[in-house]
Amino acid sequence: MSENEPRVVVVTGASSGIGAVAAARLAERGDRVVVVGRNPERTRAVAESIGGTAFVADFARFDEVRELASTLSERYDAIDVLLNNAGGLVSTRTDTVDGHEATIQSNYLSPYLLTRMLLPRLQESARRGGTARIVSTSSVANRFGRIDLADLDFTSRPWHGGWRAYGSAKLAVVLFVRELARRTAAHEGTPGVDGYSVHPGSVVTNFGSGSPLIRFGTAVTGGRWGATAEVGAAPLVALAADSPVPAVSGVYFDRLRANGAVARAADDPDLQRALWARTAEIVDLPD
């Protein structure tokens, strides 16, 4: 990769909040930023404001994620960074058109699908000496998550306003990134693709706007219960930046601190492999 050639950085969930801020900060660093969002108007507005390129995809639809991956693969020979930031909390249990619980699909299943489909372009970045890095937004909520391979969609588990599903989705992100790191590690002279998961902190954005708990917290604090989007985006930008990460691939960051606290299940290599295989089956990809 030429030193003068800008990196290609794909940021999902970039039409607002910390994703939009991260996209702007990476563009300021000279990166060629691909802005991915669900809302066409907001996504295009963010892209235009930072000199990026807009792509619209709803992560509640596998067909749109597949189309996005195919379009990006055709347009870019190599992708240096994939910043998986799409997702959120769905407080009312909702199934997608694909038949999966919306929180699980948008936070985990669709990012898994996109990552797997774009992996050849990230491996090409590694071959060229590029950054070759995947950064996925998780949450401290992973600590109360639970992975049930027979019921990822919470069809027979308590809902609790979507928080259990959200925590489980974010635990799935940590497990996925750790298995990804194992599978894409450098070996026999072949450069690898690094992966990291990160909790950006408690951030006041449109996140969880449908949750009664979030609305209550916003009302009683005047919207001051968490950090700004600018503060929340900082760990994402740091991990996506063209500089070494002070941790081995697969590590979970609690903001800028490596090896943050995770659920005990996150350290289970058998669960990491089993979840990868089960998810591959769900999204119709080979293990």
Q: Give residue limits of the domains in the chain.
A: 8-202+229-282
pLDDT at 188: 81
List active site positions: 166
pLDDT at 203: 72
Residue ranges for the chain with pLDDT beneath 50: 205, 207-225
pLDDT at 207: 44
Helix pair 229-240, 17-28: axis angle to 10 deg: 50
pLDDT at 214: 42
C-alpha distances in angstroms, 51 versus 35, 121, 236, 287?
A: 10, 22, 19, 37
pLDDT at 216: 33
pLDDT at 94: 95
pTM of the model: 0.91
Q: Is 28 helix (H, G, I), strand (E, B) or coil?
A: helix
pLDDT at 160: 84
Question: Taking Cα atoms as reference points, which of 57, 51, 22, 8 lies closest to residue 37?
Answer: 57
Question: Are 212 and 161 a contacting pair, CB within 8 Å?
Answer: yes
**What is the third-level CATH fold of 8-202+229-282?**
Rossmann fold (3.40.50)
pLDDT at 2: 53
